[in-house]
Amino acid sequence: MLNKYLLTLGIIDTLNKWNEELNKFASEHLDNVAVGTLIIGIIIFVSFIGIGSLNKK
């Protein structure tokens, strides 16, 4: 039981560290409107490709 609790705490610590790193990266690089627009465009493009490939018979 104690081992699983310690494992869970380790996973939570790792996730918190990744979250801090992602927040730091986002605050440095993603404050630009053009970058946000590019990311949304890529997500939409990939979504259309995925939907198109799933709808093929």
pLDDT digit string (tens) for the chain, length 57 residues: 667 777 788 899 999 999 999 999 888 877 888 888 998 999 999 999 999 999 986
**pLDDT of 1:** 67
Contact 38, 46 (CB under 8 A): no
**pLDDT of 57:** 67
Cα 3 from Cα 7, distance rounded (Å) = 6
Tell me the whole-structure pTM to 2 decimals: 0.53
